[in-house]
Structure 1
Amino acid sequence: MTPGLEVKFAGGVPTLTDGHVIEGYASLFGLTDQGGDAVLAGAFVNSLRKLSTKGDKVRMLWQHDPARPIGVWDEVREDEKGLWVKGRLLPDVEQAREAAALLTAGAIDGLSIGYRTIRAQRDEKGRRVLAEVELWEVSLVTFPMLPEAKVGRKDADDLREIANLFSAATDALRTG
Structure 2
Amino acid sequence: MADLNGDVVARGAFADSLARTGAGGVRMLHQHEGRAVVGVWEAIVEDARGLFVRGRIADWSAEARFAAALSRAGALDGLSIGFRAAKARRDGRLRVLSAVELWEVSLVTFPMLPEARFGVVG
Query: TM-score with structure 2 length normalisation?
Result: 0.92
Residue 138 (str. 1) matches residue 108 (str. 2): no
CA 1:96–1:56: 2 relative to 1, 3 Å:
closer
Residue 92 (str. 1) matches residue 60 (str. 2): yes
How far residue 126 of structure 1 moved from its aligned partner, in angstroms, is 2.2
Question: Equivalents in 2 of 1:104, 1:66: separation in Å?
Answer: 22
Gapped regions of structure 1 (runs ≥ 5): 1-30, 153-176
The residue number in structure 2 matching 1:33 is 3
Question: Equivalents in 2 of 1:100, 1:51: separation in Å?
Answer: 25
- 4+ runs of 1 displaced by more than 2 Å? none
How far residue 92 of structure 1 moved from its aligned partner, in angstroms, is 2.3
- Amino acid of the residue matched to residue 48 of structure 2? E
CA deviations on 1:130-165 (whole Å, 9 max, x unpaired) are 10000000000111111110013xxxxxxxxxxxxx
**Equivalenced residues, count:** 119
- Amino acid of the residue matched to residue 78 of structure 1? E
Question: Equivalents in 2 of 1:56, 1:104: separation in Å?
Answer: 24
How far residue 56 of structure 1 moved from its aligned partner, in angstroms, is 4.6
- Amino acid of the residue matched to residue 104 of structure 2? E
- Amino acid of the residue matched to residue 101 of structure 1? A
Residue 49 (str. 1) matches residue 19 (str. 2): yes
Question: Equivalents in 2 of 1:114, 1:129: separation in Å?
Answer: 16
CA deviations on 1:43-99 (whole Å, 9 max, x unpaired) are 0000001114xx952000011011110000000110111100000011222212111
- Amino acid of the residue matched to residue 45 of structure 1? A
The secondary structure found in structure 1 opposite 2:36 is strand
How far residue 104 of structure 1 moved from its aligned partner, in angstroms, is 1.9
- Amino acid of the residue matched to residue 145 of structure 1? M
The residue number in structure 2 matching 1:103 is 71
Residue 113 (str. 1) matches residue 78 (str. 2): no
The secondary structure found in structure 2 opposite 1:136 is strand
Identity %: 55
Question: Equivalents in 1 of 2:90, 2:39: separation in Å?
Answer: 35
Q: Which has the larger radius of gyration?
A: 1
Gapped regions of structure 2 (runs ≥ 5): none
Question: Equivalents in 2 of 1:96, 1:84: separation in Å?
Answer: 21
Q: Structure 2 residue aligned with 1:148, among 73, 91, 115? A: 115
The residue number in structure 2 matching 1:75 is 43
